[in-house]
Structure 1
Amino acid sequence: MRIIFMGTPESAAKVLDNLISSQHEILCVVTQPDRPKGRGQKITSSPVKELALKHALPIEQPEKVKSNPVFFSLLKSLNPDIIIVVAYGKILPKEILDLPKFGCVNIHASLLPKYRGAAPIQWTLLNGEKETGLTIMKLNEGLDTGDIIKQEKVFIDEDDTTPVLTEKLFKRADNLLHKALVEIESGKAKFIKQNDSEASYASLITKELGEIDWKKSALEIHNRIRAMVPWPVAQTYYKEKLLKIWGSKIHVLDLVGGSNLPGTIVEIVKNIGFIVATGNGHLLITEVQAEGKKRMPAYNFVIGHDVKIAETLPN
């Protein structure tokens, strides 16, 4: 098929890479404009653009896709059979949705109608779900409300972080997309309406979502820590300085002599890290990042900052 590909992050680049090596023809790659990134705010291309450049594919980076007649005319002139969208970052207008012979399809990282929206993987982890999956759907004008073409379930391990679960999901994307494209082209695809009554939404992740409340349960805090990797990263304070928490494990601890206030450091675990009391249970902190420093094993932080039992992390 003649394909226009729209996507931006690394997960989208992996899908594009497999399409490039398939029998399909990539007419054009559309991705977000180059943006400032990192501490130095260096102008950086998206992973999708980098891959497209490597393969000398035509690239478009419109600031807007709605009310952009020049961009629409370009897409129309390419006469695509289908547009494939993977985490592009912009909502397509009806004129683009209706342009290709077979419409526009999207790979969404949840089992729709659950977790419609911008951050399905993070919210899946934040809510402690045991399973999720990939959905290939036909795009319409709604927010992830289009008809379902294919789905595949994926089980979640208790220590999966956002990058780990993203990789786990998108390992399945190529085979699922291949099946969907074959069925679409042959006219055998089934388009299943979503049940809106079962829908939930995964809003954009904000920096505030990284704030740890030690009065929550160990499980809730652990889920927040793994969901907030790699941004904004879960955070607390130690001696009034920001401390980012990159890794943790639920810890079963049999303490003698009563309970501790949430946020209290109750044990140092040699070569691993430190254990913190929560509103319900205990959490072993395994990887941290002190203010202005690089990520490090939590035990290195303990040694370097002379962390003591009974010190507290504020709520």
Structure 2
Amino acid sequence: MKIILLSGSIYAIPSLHFLAGQNMIEAVVSVGDVNKYNMQLEQTSKHINIPFVRLNKDQLLTDFKTLLLETSPDLVLVFGLGCKVPSELFTIPKKGFYNVHFSLLPAYRGHSPVFWQLKNGETTGGVTIHKINEKFDDGPILAQKTVTIFPGDSYGIFSARLGIESTMLIGNAMMELNTQGEVFLTEQDKEKITYAPAPSLGDLKIHWETQTAKEIECLVNAGNPDYGGAVALLRGQPIHILEVNMALLNNPNPGGVAPGTIVHSDPNYGVFVACKNSEYLRLNVLQSHEGILSGFKLAGMGVMPGEKFDTVPETADFTTI
């Protein structure tokens, strides 16, 4: 089977290696400006001698269409594209376009399925390969695989594992499609659709008064690294919190303190913050305007018990963070 990989995702690299090893890849096409993700995809493609083409969105109906007509691929595999494939291209590859999506569709359709699965505290996620139609993440399913979300998994860690898990799923799915055709395709259950849009700043804010320690930990993990972690204010300045863990204190304040209040801070043990329901979080990794900091370094910089993290105000935007 001849495949063109249409991708801008670093998480497609394991599958690129796998398909190249099977002599199935004709070319890799990336849409959009150079960034840290598609640049690594380009470097990998060149390293293993796979043609790499970089286009902008407007060239899908011109240069990309010409490439499809010239190479006559059996299939185009989309893996982290970020824009809609024009429907007039669907019939050019013999078997059409198939998309790799990081959720068990029809759950978590949309731009950021991994973020919302982690933020919502899901214990399982997965990978779906489905045929592309005119709607985002709507086409019939060719193959799925459930993948466990382990405690402490961040966006980057879980996505990397999904990228690895995708390789054999893609290999098996391509073999079945090549030998059996579309007999394995199943329509998505419309009653089970949920959505996963790109998170806004409001989705990344820590709401100390209403979120539990576990919910804050899930939010922090969901935002690390692609969205810069969860966001709060300390001394009026924005802080990105990238890693935390729930903690038990030997001598918690018996009278209780307001959620978001630092209850312990020293260079040997780090910084501990009170949450609702008398729970506590230890802050392990943060980022401020001064750089990426450990909780130990934050304590060493003079952050004291009694100081308080606040919620970012509604008027803030990403340019101030």
The verdict on a shared fold, with TM-score over 0.5 as the criterion, is: yes
Q: 1:70 to 1:309 in 2, by over 3 A?
A: closer
> Which residue does 2:303 correspond to in 1?
307
Asked if 1:3 corresponds to 2:11, the answer is: no
2:254 partner letter: G
- C-alpha distance in structure 2 between counterparts of 1:97 and 1:272, whole Å: 57
- C-alpha distance in structure 2 between counterparts of 1:17 and 1:286, whole Å: 35
The answer (yes or no) to whether the contact 2:29–2:52 under 8 Å persists in 1 is: yes
2:30 partner letter: T
The answer (yes or no) to whether the contact 2:266–2:299 under 8 Å persists in 1 is: no
What whole-Å deviation, never above 9, does each CA across 1:103-129 have from its counterpart, x for those lacking one? 111111001000011111011001111
What is the deviation of 1:279? Answer: 2.6
Uncovered stretches (5+) of structure 2, i.e. residues with no partner: 312-321
The answer (yes or no) to whether the contact 2:61–2:86 under 8 Å persists in 1 is: no
Q: 1:272 to 1:111 in 2, by over 3 A?
A: farther
2:4 partner letter: I
Match of residue 274, structure 1, among 271, 275, 279: 271
2:259 partner letter: P
- C-alpha distance in structure 2 between counterparts of 1:168 and 1:70, whole Å: 33
> Which residue does 2:319 correspond to in 1?
none
What whole-Å deviation, never above 9, does each CA across 1:116-166 have from its counterpart, x for those lacking one? 111110110011111111111111111101111111111112211001101
Asked if 1:286 corresponds to 2:281, the answer is: no
- C-alpha distance in structure 1 between counterparts of 2:40 and 2:107, whole Å: 27
Match of residue 88, structure 1, among 81, 101, 109: 81
What is the deviation of 1:4? Answer: 0.9
Deviates more, 1:262-271 or 1:157-166: 262-271
What whole-Å deviation, never above 9, does each CA across 1:141-192 have from its counterpart, x for those lacking one? 1110111111111111221100110122122111111110110000155001
Structure-1-length-normalised TM-score:
0.90
Q: 1:290 to 1:148 in 2, by over 3 A?
A: same
What is the deviation of 1:36? Answer: 6.3
The answer (yes or no) to whether the contact 2:228–2:240 under 8 Å persists in 1 is: no
Equivalent residues in 2 for 1:84-233, closer than 5 Å: 84-187=77-180, 189-215=183-209, 216-230=211-225, 231-233=227-229
1:241 partner letter: Q
SS at match of 1:76: helix
SS at match of 1:46: helix
- C-alpha distance in structure 2 between counterparts of 1:120 and 1:5, whole Å: 21
> Which residue does 2:257 correspond to in 1?
260
- C-alpha distance in structure 1 between counterparts of 2:10 and 2:213, whole Å: 31
Deviates more, 1:141-150 or 1:252-261: 252-261
What is the deviation of 1:33? Answer: 3.3
Uncovered stretches (5+) of structure 1, i.e. residues with no partner: 38-43
Between the aligned residues of both structures, percent identity stands at 28
CA-based RMSD of the aligned residues comes to: 2.0
SS at match of 1:171: helix
SS at match of 1:114: coil
- Give the length in aligned residue pairs: 306
The answer (yes or no) to whether the contact 2:68–2:93 under 8 Å persists in 1 is: no
- C-alpha distance in structure 2 between counterparts of 1:185 and 1:233, whole Å: 42
- C-alpha distance in structure 1 between counterparts of 2:66 and 2:269, whole Å: 58
2:304 partner letter: K
The answer (yes or no) to whether the contact 2:33–2:56 under 8 Å persists in 1 is: no
The answer (yes or no) to whether the contact 2:106–2:189 under 8 Å persists in 1 is: yes
- C-alpha distance in structure 2 between counterparts of 1:292 and 1:83, whole Å: 45
Deviates more, 1:195-204 or 1:252-261: 252-261
1:184 partner letter: L
What whole-Å deviation, never above 9, does each CA across 1:12-63 have from its counterpart, x for those lacking one? 1222122111132x222110233367xxxxxx95222222222333333221
1:140 partner letter: N
- C-alpha distance in structure 1 between counterparts of 2:52 and 2:309, whole Å: 49
SS at match of 1:236: strand
Match of residue 55, structure 1, among 38, 48, 57: 48
1:156 partner letter: I
- C-alpha distance in structure 1 between counterparts of 2:91 and 2:201, whole Å: 37
Match of residue 238, structure 1, among 224, 234, 238: 234
Deviates more, 1:173-182 or 1:236-245: 236-245
The answer (yes or no) to whether the contact 2:8–2:80 under 8 Å persists in 1 is: yes
> Which residue does 2:317 correspond to in 1?
none
- C-alpha distance in structure 1 between counterparts of 2:103 and 2:261, whole Å: 36
- C-alpha distance in structure 2 between counterparts of 1:205 and 1:140, whole Å: 25
